[in-house]
Structure 1
Amino acid sequence: MKISSLLNNENILKQLNLTDVSSDDCVLILKEPNEITLTKDDLQKPISTYATVDNELIHFQISISVQITKHDDKKQIKIPLSNRNITIEQLLNLTEKSIDVYKYLATNDTKRIINSNEILSNLNKTKFILVKENETCLISIKKSNNVQQVDNNEKLQRFISFATITDINKENQEDILHKYLMYSNDFVPSKNTQLISFLSVSPIQFTMINENLPVTVIIQNKEINKSIQFNCEDSITVQRLCEIACQLCCLNNKYYCLSMDDDTELTDSTLSLKDITDENATEISFKLVSTASLYCSINYSNQIIKLPCCQDTLLMTIIKEVLQILNKSEDNMDMYELIALDDDRTEIDFNCKLDDVLALFPNGLTTISFELKNKGD
């Protein structure tokens, strides 16, 4: 009999209360004479391989392999556990990382931050994400628009900032199944929208509604090669559509306007959807168009992001926008350096204005090129 059969024996797993754990998440340890963690190759050997005397008992221990991925650098930490009756706080301590820096564990499947006093065995999970506080955000889900009922109907949860609406729905599927999350009382973001788009307020407030809003809006921005989608009422104005598009694309709405999909300009921002579409239209497409005459082009790891700006724009502002688009936390800005792609590849301070850099480039240039790189690369 192969040793691997021990991990697939339902009776053994039932006695050890491990029926909710995949055998792939288990580690088999030989206890005597020295404690040895068996490899995949070892598991294919017959059990008799480790018998030193005929009919002698061979002592094995089945441990759970908890896999924790650090969110900032994707490094993995594997922790074998013989006992799952520990709290999340105790599991955090076992990572041997500073709890003052890495404060939270999140579920791998929904990105929800787990309360420190939750018991691991109650979660039925073995894969987690280790995150810093500045990599998380607080969300509120209201079950009613009635302000007087907020206290009784509000649900607060913390998620990783790059979690999506899909993650929220999955985490709260018992409550949200066949319902929709409305933001700012005027639009329903698509399921792939990330929470980082809403970080300007805390908590991020959603209202649960039974039916989706009637008009699907699709807005394309070619500069960052991104398309966003959301639902709204046909009474919403062009100006508000532009604000929503910039928010979901992590762009500064100071430099953008909307055009129709056929490039027709929308010069009157007070017009509503019902003013510019057919009465029965349920889907409409727009383009998000830059109104700027000056641009910054940022190259990071072979990705090029082109953003509109003006001479008074702080480079710090540009870098924050770039990091949001790249799904990277702006709180880790000290990890990066900015190089102007002039003849001398001049290193630029983030606190400089773009006007301070223009003298490095030929007169009349409308796109100023930089490289953003990790320090030490």
Structure 2
Amino acid sequence: MWQAYFFSGPLKDIINELSREMSILQITQGNMGVITLNKMDCQWIEQLSRASLENEKDYFIKLNTPLNFNFLYVQSYLIRTYLLYCRINYEHIKGKYQCYTQRKPPITTINLVVNDVEQLASKTQNTRFAITFKDGKQTKYHCSKPEKFYMQLKKIFDEKKYDLNTIDIIDPNQILVDFMKTNVNNSLPIIEEEYHIKEKRLLIRIILEFENNQLKYFATSEATITSILSHFILDQQLKFTPLETYFSVFDSLGRYIAEDCQINNIYQSDEQTSIQIRVCRCKQDANICCEVTLTAGQEQQHIIDEDQTISLALDQAESISVDLFNGEDVIDIILSYDNNSQTIRILKSCPVRIIKQLLEMIKINDDHIYLASYETKMILSENIKLSTINETKFFLVKEHQTCLISIEQSDDALVAVTEDNMQNQRYLINAAMNDIYKQNKNIDQDRLTLSDDSIIDEEDSLNDTGESINDLQLKLVSTADAKCALTYQDETITISVTNEILLSSIMKEALEKLLIPLDDIDMYELKVLDDPDSPTTVDLDSSIDEIRSDFHIESATPPFLLEKKENEN
């Protein structure tokens, strides 16, 4: 086949329209001949096309004069120039060659053309050949018939006392000549002009998969994909129909090989394993591959499982963008719903609002619109990221399975109720009061009551309160005796305390609020600010009452300082 390209100049539109592909059906062999053109060929065709413009009226052409293009002349010239490279019986193909404009193939069918197969199959057989041995010396031989060629190679190896387990012979394409194999297709070997002796350890084992068969080849690292495929086509004596004119070639990872390259550039897991190549004989309308774009830093919501096929990830699309990320950036979350559970792998950085995508992935009822914490049974905000939740189990629930909690702040409450932390929280209706306390850890010295100040047991569920479950009104009542102010670097936090609470508990709560790991508690010390210029380190087993008494603190808010211990070394 041929195709014109790289044209420029005033004839660009004409040449583009005449960009044709020519397929030559060699009926005697049942094969499809393929001819490819390089840039120089296409420039020559352009020059030929310029020379084939005709003007019957005027010798000197005027501006805007219409010209005729002698297509039949150009076509016949191309046929004579390129088709005569092949040995063809024109009686068999008369009236059957085709010139046509190629339909643009879909993105999923990229054509890899195997060059010169027809020329290789139809070339005149050599009767003389030379072998270059390991010492660099070359010996010439004569073989009268192709069917005797393998026997002659075996005789040469016997005379040289070569060990077939360690020594091989390769052809000019750097591919092993396996003269010991059985000829299953009764095809005659092609005698090349020169061969080389190589050590077997220098050859790469290649496994070529084709239509549920595995074919084995050995070649040097300089051998090319097209050379391997040429041997493969000739060995198998493949037959074609006009719609099966090309191969698609893939490596062992399923990646499409679009261009010819040396075999050592094909993926190989390690040097000890074989290079695996998969060859598919394709029709023009077949969709057997897709385009995958690898990006970095583009957040994707759907994690492709390592065992999932690309076709499943694509669905009906022909291309997909895939983000590369560290395995530590993903988590497996378990969604429980309607007595069922589903495990989904997802990026930690994803916000909860991707719940819609999760629903589509697991294909459950759209009525499940809320994601709830497994630990506290609170409905999670859509803007919160999974990485900040530190949970892997969640409930997926419907709206009627939830209730809205409104918390009213009493005058003596030590914790301020704001829109951002405690007002209008939504929980599962089977959540207990203890779940609300777990969610709102800063209510450590306050208590939640019903609007009529009645006490609710921490183990009671919200359903058992006797109140309207659609909008449950709770009141925040203080049980603390005071507050203490704790300064760390440039930040000051307030902690609600009772008189009996120990300073060790205050220090732990301070570390949590300052986002300092509790495992590092021994690296810090707590001081009372009795003297701002020289604070005193305190005993963590002391209570607030003891600190007030020992340091004569009359302020309602005892001041403390948290510092990192100095390095004694």
| TM-score of the two chains, using structure 2 as the length reference | 0.33
Larger CA Rg, structure 1 vs 2: 2
Ranked by relative contact order (alpha carbons within 8 Å, sequence separation 6 or more), the top structure is 1
